[in-house]
Amino acid sequence: MQVDLNSDMGESFGPWTMGDDRALLDVVTSANIACGFHAGDPDVMARTMRQAADKGVGIGAHPGFHDLQGFGRRRINLSAEELGNMVAYQLGAAQGIARSLGTQVRHLKLHGALSNMATDDPAIARACYQAALRVDPQIIIVALAGTRMEAVARELGATVAAEIFADRAYEDDASLVDRSKPGAVLHDPAQAAGRMIAMLRDGAIHTLGGKRIPCRIDTICVHGDTAEAVAMATALRRDLEQGGIAVRRFG
């Protein structure tokens, strides 16, 4: 059994720093790098990609809504065309930086409110993923396991990496519990690691309501913007490997 370990990063902006990307890159196998809309800037993107490439970590584009102040976590209603252009623009920027560094963007993962909306509405997922696949038909789509978002990506013929979250609780429809609700975000590394191992062995998402949702699991996300991100990722990787589960890049 094997699984990828990914984290969102490159979310600093100018002199303002978010997260310890350098430390996380010693632990994870894939990095979802902000593309300048919800967070990040060209210099942060280039620096993060260079560090990821040096450590053999898979590079991904992490597009979100154009909302720096809200960190891409506020919903914005856009047309299908606008959504597609927004994703294509950010993926193109990521590809340009990566190529200038002699590396490549392997995958794409939607951020924040955009991801939540794509989970709720297949039309939004379709608009985003069609645009990404027009830019790069070989791009790997990271989609929330067991959701309509994943189903849409597969219907489009994309290579999909099905994702679960180490530090988030699940609703009974496989969507993430809203961050405003109690218990939505897990902060205990040992608890999160034990939960992930149980899900991998069961081949199912464990929900807050006690339900088991069978699904494929290719990658586990640890958010990079929390104080305990490095500790959680380190504990998770250690416990996975001690449990006989190899941690390797997907694809």
In this structure, what are the phi and psi dihedrals at residue 25, rounded to the nearest 5 degrees?
-70, -15
What does each of the 251 residues of the chain score in pLDDT, given as a tens digit?
Answer: 999 999 999 998 888 888 889 999 999 999 999 999 999 999 999 999 999 999 999 999 999 999 988 988 999 999 999 999 999 999 999 999 999 999 999 999 999 999 999 999 999 999 999 999 999 999 999 999 999 999 999 999 999 999 999 989 999 989 889 888 988 988 888 888 899 999 999 999 999 999 999 999 999 998 877 777 898 899 999 999 998 999 999 98
pTM: 0.94
Alpha-carbon distances, residue 241 vs 124, 137, 186, 212, 248 (angstroms): 37, 33, 21, 24, 11
Q: What is the CATH number of domain 2-247?
A: 3.20.20.370
Find out whether 241 and 233 touch, Cβ atoms under 8 Å: no
Neighbouring C-alpha atoms within 13 Å toward the C-beta of 207: 17
Find out whether 160 and 138 touch, Cβ atoms under 8 Å: no
Sketch the domain layout of the chain as residue ranges: 2-247
- How many whole angstroms separate alpha carbon 236 and alpha carbon 87? 31
Alpha-carbon distances, residue 182 vs 70, 74, 80, 81, 89 (angstroms): 21, 19, 33, 36, 36
